[in-house]
Amino acid sequence: MTHRGSRVLHVGSLSRVEGEGALRLRVHDGTVTEARLEIYEPPRFFEAFLRGRSHTEPPDITARVCGICPVAYQMSACAAIEDACGVSVGPVIRDLRRLLYCGEWIESQALHIYLLHAPDFLGRASAIDLARTHRAEVERGLRLKKAGNSLMELLGGRAVHPVNVRLGGFHRVPTRAELRPLQEELKQALDDAWDTVRWVAGFEFPDARVEADLLALAEPDTYAIEGGTPTVLRLDGTRESFPVRDFTEHVTETHVAHSTALHSRLDGRLHLTGSLARFAISGARLSPVALQAAVAAGLGDPREGAVCHNPFRSILVRAVETVYAVGEALRIIEAYEPPARPYAEVPPVAGTGHGATEAPRGLLYHRYELDADGVVTSALLVPPTAQNQGAIEDDLRRLAQRAITEHDPDDDELTALCERAIRNHDPCISCSTHFLDLTVVRTQGGCDA
C-alpha cells in the first residue's frame, strides 16, 4: 500500500448494516478492477429444512430468517402457500395484514433512517453518538420506531417474530376498542414522520445514480405492500410486468465464490428493489399526504414522472414511505370492523404456490411445492438483498472510481465512502444468506495481491 494508485482495501466487518458482511475493493493503476460486497454470514439452510414441514409451518419458521423484517417473511409465505392451495382471504384479513405490515415498515424505516443512515450524513459513528448533539431528533426517531413496534405488538403479539400470524389470517383478531388507543400514538407518529421528511431534506446529498433496472410490485389502486404484480422500470424508461408465478423465469440466481448470498439478475441485467424502485414504480399511487411529503422532500411529484435514481437520496424516499405507512395504518384502523372469522381455512392441495410482498428493503419472493397432505417438498426464498447485491457492487465500483479519478482519496476516506454507499441500500445481510467483508487491493504494474 505504498502507492495510492494501486491498492487493496478491505473492510473486515461492515457496521450499521443488518447482518455481517465485508467489503473488498481492488484498485490497479488508478482503475477499480473489483468491488465486492462479501456476505460472510454463515449459511442457515432454511430452504433445506423447510422440506418435510407441514404447510402451516413456514410463516413461523421463515420469520426467523430475519429479525428486522419477520412480517415480510410471514406475509410472503402465507401468500405463496395460499396460492398453492387456491385460497384467497377476504378484504378485512387483507387490511389487517397490511396494517401489521405498516407496523413493520414504520419500525424498520425509522430504524434505518435514524439509527443506521442519518449518522453518515452528520459525520457520526452511531445514533447514540448523534444524540449528544441532536438529542431531540434521535428521541423523535425512537418514538417513531416505537409507534411501529406498538402496532406490531398489538396485532402480532411482539415486534420481533410476531406470533399471531397464521395461514389464512390471524389466530385472533383485535376488537375495535383494542385498536383505538393506537390512534393517538399514530397521530403523533404522523407528525414525527413529517418532521423526519423535513429533517432529512436538509442533508447534503452527493451526486450519484444507480445504473440498474428497478423492480417492485405494483397494484392498480394503491402503493403495493402486501401483494401485487412484479413490474420493472428499465434503464431505457420502458415498463413491463410479469406474473408472480413467472418470477424465477426473469430473476435468476447465480452463486459466486465470494459470497454465501446468491447473486440475481433480472433478464440478464442488474436490478435493484426497495424504496427507490417502489417510488419509481408506484409513486403515483401514494396517498395525497405522502405525495405532499415527496414534494416537500424535494423528490418531485411522481404523478408527473418524478423518479429518484440517487441512492444517497433513498433516505428521503424512506421518510416519505414512513409518512405513507403511518397514514395507511390510521386509515385502516378507522375503517376496521372485525371479520366474522379470524382466518380462512387453508386445506392442503398438491401443487406449487408463489408469493411476493414488499419487505421494507425490497421485493421478497417465496415458492413452495406441497404434496397432497400439505407436506412441503421444496421451498425457495429470494430475499431483496440477494437481488440487490449486484447493483450495490456496481454502484460501489462507480462511486469509488469517480472518487479516485477526481481526487484520489486515502484509504480511510475511500473506506468511509464505500461503507456509505452500501448503507444507502439498507442491505439486510442476515436475510440474504444464502451473503459481505471491504478489501481495497491497489496494485501497480503486472501483479496484484
- Site residues for other proteins per CB under 8 A: 13-20, 41-49, 51, 53-54, 57, 60-61, 64-68, 70, 111, 115, 119, 125-129, 131, 135, 138-139, 142-143, 145-146, 149, 157-161, 163-164, 166, 171-172, 253-257, 260, 262, 419, 430-431, 434
- Number of other residues whose CB lies within 10 A of the CB of residue 296: 16
Nearer to other proteins, 52 or 305 (CB): 52
Q: Of the candidates 53, 64, 94, 245, which one interacts with ligand SF4 according to CB under 6 A?
A: 64
Question: How far apart are alpha carbons 449 and 317 in whole angstroms?
Answer: 40
- Burial of 97 (C-beta count, 10 Å sphere; 0-12/13-18/19+): buried
Question: How far apart are alpha carbons 199 and 56 in whole angstroms?
Answer: 44
Total binding residues for ligand SF4 by CB under 6 A? 5
56 binds ligand SF4 (CB under 6 A): no
Kindly indicate which of the ranges 102-110, 155-163, 294-302, 359-367 contains the residues binding ligand SF4, using the contact rule CB under 6 A.
Answer: 155-163
Nearer to ligand SF4, 18 or 83 (CB): 18
Name the residue among 89, 87, 79 with its Cα closest to residue 367: 79
Nearer to other proteins, 81 or 297 (CB): 81
User: Is 32 in a helix, a strand, or coil?
Assistant: strand
> Which of other proteins, ligand SF4, none sits in contact with 109, Cβ below 5 to 8 A by type?
none
Name the residue among 350, 362, 367 with its Cα closest to residue 246: 367
| Max intra-chain CA distance, the chain | 74
Nearer to other proteins, 1 or 128 (CB): 128
Distance in Å, CB of 57 to other proteins, minimum? 7
67 binds ligand SF4 (CB under 6 A): yes
> Residue 206: which region, alpha, beta or left (left: phi > 0; alpha: psi -120 to 50)?
beta
Nearer to ligand SF4, 64 or 402 (CB): 64
Q: What are phi and psi of 48, to 5 degrees?
A: -75, -45
- Number of other residues whose CB lies within 10 A of the CB of residue 345: 10
User: Is 20 in a helix, a strand, or coil?
Assistant: coil
> Which of other proteins, ligand SF4, none sits in contact with 127, Cβ below 5 to 8 A by type?
other proteins
Q: Which of residues 202-261 bind ligand SF4 (CB under 6 A)?
A: none
163 binds ligand SF4 (CB under 6 A): yes
Q: Which of residues 130-149 bind ligand SF4 (CB under 6 A)?
A: none
Nearer to ligand SF4, 171 or 209 (CB): 171
> Which of other proteins, ligand SF4, none sits in contact with 189, Cβ below 5 to 8 A by type?
none
DSSP symbols for 295-343? HHTT---GGGT-----GGGHHHHHHHHHHHHHHHHHHHHHH----SSSB
Binding site for ligand SF4 (CB under 6 A): 64, 67, 160-161, 163
